[in-house]
Amino acid sequence: MTAVRVWDPLVRIFHWSLVAGFTANALFNDPEGKAHEVIGLFVLGLVAVRILWGFVGTRHARFADFPPSVPASLGQLGEMATGRKHIHKGHSPLGALMIYNLLATMIVIGATGYMMTTLAFFGVGWVEEAHEVAVSWAEFLVVAHIAAVFLESRRLGINLPKSMLTGYKHIP
């Protein structure tokens, strides 16, 4: 096994802070409460920092290292279906699509959540519906992400959750 430094501290802190913030707001906080608003703004701040880091951060944190690519994602699905293994040091093509999707979804959740606190949009049905749909979509994405991480860890022989804790991928 070769240990490759992949995830810098900012990426790892962002990841686990986002997990904590989203989980707190989705499962434990009163949606009408002040804590829900504060954590929602915190999550939006995290996303803003991560987007900035996607342009100026370390190699595997940069968006240029994992551009969204439908053809590459289909190629990865083909590898998975045929049992071929291609180990990506950074994000895989499907992982990249998941990240872009999650970031965009968090922005929609945060924006609609904030809109519901303003006089202009308080009580407006479509804003509340958009917020709820985005939260449901995010919950689906989280479950899909967790399942994919464990399936890919097993398929590739790489402990992906451990790499997000330590910053190192141990590549066979």
The 10s digit of each residue's pLDDT in 35-50 is: 999 999 999 999 999 9
Q: Is 92 helix (H, G, I), strand (E, B) or coil?
A: coil
How far is the CA of 123 from the CAs of 4, 15, 27, in angstroms? 50, 32, 22
Sequence letter at residue 42: F
Residue 29 has what pLDDT? 83
CA–CA separation, 7 vs 4, rounded Å?
9
When pLDDT is cut at 50, 70 and 90, the band that residue 3 belongs to is very high
Q: Which domain holds residue 148?
A: 2-171
Task: Read off the CATH number of the domain in which 26 is found.
Answer: 1.20.950.20
Q: Residue 2's closest CA among 95, 89, 96, 91?
A: 89
| CB distance 91 to 134 below 8 Å | no
Asked if residue 30 has pLDDT above 90, the reply is no
Q: Tens of pLDDT along 96-134?
A: 999 999 999 999 999 999 999 999 999 999 999 999 999
Burial (CB count within 10 angstroms: exposed 0-12, middle 13-18, buried 19+), residue 120: exposed
CA angle at 50 for the pair 15 and 14, rounded to the nearest 5°: 20
The CA distance from 130 to 118, in Å, is: 15
Residues 126-162 pLDDT 10s: 999 999 999 999 999 999 999 999 999 999 999 999 9
Q: How far apart are the first and last CA of the chain?
A: 4
> In total, how many domains does the chain have?
1
CA-CA distance, 35 to 47, in Å (whole number)? 18
pLDDT > 90: what percent of the chain?
92
Q: Report whether 77 contacts 62 (CB < 8 A).
A: no
